Amino acid sequence: MLDAQRDQVINDGTLRIPLREVGICDQGGVCNWKKETTTIYPGTELKIASLMVKPGKRYKARYFNWLNKRVEEIDLSVKS
Chain segment 30-71, per-residue pLDDT in tens? 999 999 999 999 999 999 887 888 888 999 999 999 889 999
The pLDDT of 5-27, averaged and rounded, is 91
E strand segments, the chain: 2-3, 8-11, 17-25, 31-40, 44-47, 58-65, 70-76, 78-79
The pLDDT, as a whole number, for residue 66 is 85
Q: 31 to each of 1, 43, 47, 57, how far by Cα in Å? A: 17, 27, 20, 10
The DSSP symbol for 13 reads S
On whether the pTM is more than 0.95, the answer is no
Q: Write down the pLDDT at residue 34.
A: 94
**Does 2.60.40.3970 match the CATH number of domain 2-79?**
yes
